[in-house]
Structure 1
C-alpha cells in the first residue's frame, strides 16, 4: 500500500509541475452536437492509402526498369536519409579548427620536441585530419534515372502519408479554405500533388512542381501518366519547373516543401529559400521533414526565419502565424530540454505492395504550418498531444504542448476535470489536440488521492 501511495505521489508531482491545469473549453459548445470520440481535437487519419492509379503506375515503372536487388537499395536509401544531417557551416568549421589548434598546442609537453608545432604545416595537417574524422560529410544527392526509381520505391508512400496527414488537418480545421493553386518546392516524385488532390480534388486548378532535377520531374510526370509517356494525366493542371517562379508578386493558395530543406547546401541558401516560399504563400505554408532531431532543427530554423527575422521584400503585409502543430509562437519547449528530443508525430499507412513490405507501416515525421494572418482563433490555444496517451483505470496520462509555451504532463480524471474532458482525453492520441483551456489553479483533490 505504501508503495502504491509513493508511486501515485510521483505521478502527481509530474502532473502538477506546471502552474496551470487544463479544463474543458466549452466556448464553442461542440460537445452538445458530437460524441466524444469525434470531438474537433481529433485530427489523425486512421490509415493513409495511396490512390490505386499511383500504385499501378509505380509497379509499371519498376517492372520496366528491372533494377537488381531493389529491396537492398531501398533499405540502404531509407537508412541513409533517416540518418542524414545538415551540412556543416564554414563558420562552425573555422571555430572548431581554432579550438583544436589551441588544444593541440596546450597539450604538448613542455619538454617535448620544441619544433613539433613550430611548423605550421604539421599543425594544420593534424587539425584537418581530426576534423575529417569528427564532422559530418554532407553531399548533395545525385538524382540519376536509376536513383530516382529507387527513391520512388523507398519514399513515395511514406511521403504521401505524412503530407496527407498534415493537409488533412488544414482541411478539417479550416473547411472554408479551398485552394485553387499549389506550389510544391522540391517536388521529387510528386507525392505532394497526389496527397493534395486526394483531399481537395478538382478544386485545385493549378499545380506548380519545382525540382532542380530534370530526371525527377520526368519521373513524376510518368507516374501521373500511368507509367507511359503517352498516357493520360491523372491530375490535370500540373506544370513542372526547375526553378522557383521569378516574379515576387506571384502567390499560391498553398505552398508545400516536403523533405527538401536538407537538400540545400548551407544556411544562407535555406534562409533565402524559406523567405521566398513565404513570399509566395497566399494562404498556408506547409513544411515537412523527417521526425529526427535534424528534421526538427531544420523546421525550428525556418520558424525563426519567418517569425523573427522577417522579409526585406514585404508585398503581403498579413502577419505570419503558426497554425500547427504549436499552440503558441514562443520558443519551442522541446529545444529547452537538456536532451532536446524532436517534436515528431506518426502516421499509419499501407505501403507499396512489395514482397518484403509488411502490410502496415508507420511514418515518423515533423511538420510546421504557417498561415497568412490568424486562422481559427476560437481553438488555436488548444494544447497539442506530443506523445502517446497512456490510458489507465479511471485516469489518463497526457503529455501536451500548451499555449503558455511549456510542456505539460497531466493526469486527467473524471472527478477532477469533469466527465466530458476526461472522455475527450481518453479518445485523443499522439498528434491530436485537447479541447481545453488552461486554468489558473492546480489544487489536488484529497478524496481523489484516497480513491487512487
Structure 2
C-alpha cells in the first residue's frame, strides 16, 4: 500500500510539470465517424510478420549452406550492432591527443635520468597508448558470403519490423500517396523491399537497391528467388547497384535508408550521402536506426543536415519538412538535457522460426521521415507519445513531445480534459499520436525551420 501511494504521489508530482492544458482537436470531426479505440492518432501495428515466401527462402538458404554455431553468431552480431558507435572524427582525436599531451607532459618533465629525446619518446608513447585505450575502435563490416547469412538470420526479421512500422506512418496518414519508385540505400538483405512491397506492392514498379557489397546484393536476390538461383523473382522491377546515383535529375517517390548511416566512415561521408538521398527524394525520405542514443543522434545529425540545407545542387525547391515522428522542426527536446535519452519506439514482430527464438520479439528503433513540402497540415501539430502510457483509475499519464518543441507530462482526466480526450488517451500507446491541441502554443510560430 505504501509503495502504491508513493508511486501515486510521484505521478501526481510529475503531472504538475506540464505548462499547457491539452484539449481535443476535432477540427476534422473524426470522432463523429470512428470510435475512440480507432482514433486517427493510433499509429501502431499489430505483430509484424515477414511474408511466408521470405521466411521459406531464409530456411532454404540456411539449410543448404550450413553455418556452424549459428545461434552464437546471431547473438554476438546483434549485441555488437546494438552497441556500435559512430567512427571517431580526426579532429576529435587530435583535440583529445593535445589534452593528453598536456597532462602527461607535466609528469614526464619530473622524471630523472631521461634526456630530452627520451622524454619526447615517452610522451608520444603515453599519448598513443591512452588514445588506443579510451577511443572507440570503429571497423567497417566485411560482408562475406558467410557473414551475410549470419546477418540474414540475425537482422532480417527485426529490420523488416522496424521499417514496416516507419512506412506505416506514411501509409496511414497520407493514404493518397501511391509510390511508383523506391530507392533503398544500404539495402542489405532486402528488408526495405519486402516491407514496401507489403504496403504498396500494387503501385511500386521500380525498386533500386543500393549496397556496396556484391555478396549482399547476391544474397538479397536469392531471398527474392526463394533461396534458389533458378527460382523466379517474387517481386519484379528490382535493380541492384553497388554505388549510389548522385544525379538530382532522377528522383524516387520513396527513399529509404535503414541501419546504414553507421556504416559510413566519417561525418563528411554521412553528410554527402544524406544530401544525395534528399536530392533523390521526390516524396518521402525515411531513415531508420537502432533505438540507442547513438542511433538517435545519427538521425538528429541527418535532421540538421537536411533542414539547414547547404547542398549546392538544388533542383527541387520544395522545402524539407519533418513528417514524423516530431510534431515540430525545432531542436529535439530529448537532447536538450544532460541525460540525452534517445527518442525510440518499439515494434513487436514474429521472428524467424529458429529453435532459439521466442514466438514474439520486439525491435526497439528510432526513425525519422522527411516530406517534400508540407503534408498533413490539419494534424501535424498532434503530440507524439514518447513513452509508455500509464493507465490508472480515472486518469491516464502521457509523456508527449509537442508542437512547442517541449516534452510534456499530463495526467489526463475526463473531468479536467473532457471525455473524448480522456478516452482517446486511454487507447494510446507508445509511438501513437494524441489527437489534441496544447493550449498556449502556436504551431505556426513554433514549427519553423531552425535555419530560418
TM-score interval (norm. to shorter)? over 0.9
Going from structure 1 to structure 2, the CA distance change for 1:417 and 1:48 (only over 3 Å counts) comes to: same
1:269-290 Cα shifts (integer Å, max 9, x gaps): 0000000000000000000000
What SS does the aligned partner of 1:248 have? coil
CA distance in 1 between partners of 2:3 and 2:86 (Å): 47
Q: Is the 8 A contact 1:87 1:136 kept in 2?
A: yes
In the TM superposition, 1:22-61 aligns within 5 A as 22-61=22-61
Distance 1:3 1:242, change over 3 A: closer
Bigger mean CA deviation after superposition, 388-397 or 8-17 = 8-17
Cα deviations across residues 105-161 of structure 1 (Å, max 9, x unaligned)? Answer: 234575856647863221111100000001110000000000000000000000000
Deviation at 1:2, TM superposition (A): 11
Q: State the Cα deviation string for residues 288-311 of structure 1 (Å, max 9, x = none).
A: 000001100100000000011432
Question: Which aligned pairs between 1:373-384 and structure 2 lie closer than 5 A?
Answer: 373-384=373-384
Alignment of 1:141-290 (within 5 A): 141-290=141-290
- C-alpha distance after superposition, 1:15-67 (max 9, x if no partner): 23232121110111100110000000001001101100000001000001111
- Structure 2 distance, partners of 1:384, 1:369, is 14
Shift of residue 7, structure 1, vs aligned partner? 6.6
- The answer to whether the 8 Å contact 2:109/2:119 transfers is no
Deviations 1:204-263 (A, max 9, x none): 000000000000000000000001111110000000000112422110000000000000
Contact 2:108-2:123 within 8 A present in 1 as well:
no
Secondary structure, counterpart of 1:307 in structure 2: helix
Distance 1:112-1:419 versus aligned 2 partners, 3 A rule: farther
For residues 106 and 357 of structure 1, the distance between their equivalents in structure 2, rounded to whole angstroms, comes to: 55
1:384–1:401 Cα contact (<8 Å) kept: yes
Conserved 8 A contact 2:108-2:119: no
1:370 is aligned to: 370
TM-score using structure 1 length? 0.94
SS in 1 for 2:209: strand
Q: What is the DSSP-based 3-state SS (H/G/I as helix, E as strand, rest coil) of the residue aligned with 1:404?
A: coil
Counterpart CA distance in 2 for 1:249 and 1:120 is: 56
In 2: Cα distance, 1:121 partner to 1:312 partner: 46
Equivalent runs, 1:45-444 vs 2, <5 Å: 45-107=45-107, 110=110, 115=115, 119-440=119-440
Q: Quote the RMSD (CA, aligned, Å).
A: 1.8
Distance in 2 of aligned mates of 1:172 and 1:134:
46
Q: Match for residue 448 of structure 1?
A: none
Preserved CA contact (<8 Å) 2:182 2:208: yes
Whether the 8 Å CA contact 1:251–1:281 is kept in 2: the answer is yes
8 Å Cα contact 1:117/1:123 also seen in 2: no
The 3 A distance-change label for structure 1 pair 117 and 350 is: farther
Map of 1:450 onto structure 2: none
Whether contact under 8 Å (1:105, 1:117) holds in the other structure is no
Change (3 A) 1:333 1:232: same
How many Å separate the matches in 1 of 2:330 and 2:108?
A: 47
**Separation in 2 of the partners of 1:265 and 1:335?**
24
**Aligned-partner Cα distance in 2 for 1:171–1:141:** 33
- Segments of 5+ residues of structure 2 without an aligned counterpart are 442-452
Aligned residues: 441
Distance 1:324 1:349 in 2: 21
The offset of 1:404, in angstroms, is: 0.4
**1:188, 1:2 → 2: CA distance?**
52
Tell me, in whole angstroms, the C-alpha distance in 1 between the residues paired with 2:113 and 2:374.
68
SS in 1 for 2:202: helix
Asked whether the equivalents of residues 246 and 276 of structure 2 are also in contact (C-alpha less than 8 Å), the reply is: no
Q: Secondary structure in 2 aligned to 1:370?
A: strand
1:57-110 CA distance string (max 9 Å, x none)? 010000011111110111011011001000000000000000001111234575
Residues 117/385 of structure 1: CA separation in 2 closer, same or farther (3 Å cut)? farther
2:450 is matched with none
Preserved CA contact (<8 Å) 1:285 1:369: yes
Structure 1 runs not aligned, ≥5 long: 442-452
Q: Which SS does the other structure have where 2:49 is aligned?
A: coil
